[in-house]
């Protein structure tokens, strides 16, 4: 049987190929989803029912209402049914984006880093929530960063991959020698 033509790939198959382009396994970079529960009320129950390792970025005991809209970090496995369901549900809805981390960086380490980004201080000294886990915020914020800000934002992460406003495209952000590098990937056949 021959391989499917690139333009015949389903969205989920294409995304899995892009997210695990460096391979899978314990020594390969690990793929996480950083999800915004406020974007879709199905996210939190879906995560809790999955067999995936996950954590909430908020600390302490949360009310059910806050838990439902909280940001979650989920370790993804391309062979789990949950991953395909999440990609199918979330793509195009700005529910979150993907974080690629070295194999030796744990879910706990990523959570610790991302928790440092939840609050920012404005010019007047007011503390504000920073919704960096929303891909619309990520796409707006990262291009404005100086190299030292990018380093602080990325922490132990290698790459952030997010949907764009154009159907069938994603954008990947990385740091290369202190400078932001951004690549745009277009799903084969999506822009016909």
- The reply to whether 145 falls in a domain is yes
- The reply to whether 156 falls in a domain is yes
- The reply to whether 78 falls in a domain is yes
Could you give the CA distance from residue 11 to residue 109 in angstroms, rounded to a whole number?
A: 30
- The reply to whether 191 falls in a domain is no
- The reply to whether 114 falls in a domain is yes
- The reply to whether 28 falls in a domain is yes
- The reply to whether 68 falls in a domain is yes
Q: What pTM was computed for the model?
A: 0.87
Residue range of the domain that includes 130: 6-186
Neighbour count for residue 2 (Cβ, 10 Å)? 4
- The reply to whether 1 falls in a domain is no
Task: List, for residues 41-91, the tens digit of each pLDDT value.
Answer: 999 999 999 989 999 999 999 999 999 999 999 999 999 999 988 888 777
> Structurally, how many domains does the chain consist of?
1
Task: List, for residues 152-173, the tens digit of each pLDDT value.
Answer: 999 999 999 988 888 778 888 8
Can you list the positions of beta strands (E) in 44-91?
54-56, 71-75
């Amino acid at each position: 049987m021959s391989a499917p033509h690139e333009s015949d790939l389903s969205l989920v198959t294409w995304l899995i190929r892009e997210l695990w382009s460096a391979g899978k396994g314990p020594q390969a970079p690990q793929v996480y989803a950083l999800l915004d529960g406020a974007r879709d009320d199905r996210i939190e129950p879906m995560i809790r029912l999955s067999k995936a390792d996950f954590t909430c970025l908020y600390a302490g005991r949360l009310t059910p209402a806050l838990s439902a809209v909280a940001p979650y970090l989920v370790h993804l496995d391309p062979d789990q049914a949950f991953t395909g369901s999440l990609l199918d549900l979330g793509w195009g809805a700005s529910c979150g984006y993907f974080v690629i981390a070295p194999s030796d960086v744990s879910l706990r380490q990523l959570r610790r880093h991302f928790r440092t980004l939840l609050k920012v201080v404005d010019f007047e000294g007011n503390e504000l929530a920073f919704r960096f886990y929303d891909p619309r915020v990520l796409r707006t914020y990262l291009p404005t960063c100086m190299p030292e800000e990018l380093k602080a934002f990325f922490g132990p992460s290698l790459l952030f991959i997010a949907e764009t406003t154009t159907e069938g495209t994603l954008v990947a952000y990385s740091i290369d020698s202190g400078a932001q590098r951004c690549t745009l990937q277009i799903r084969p056949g999506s822009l016909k």
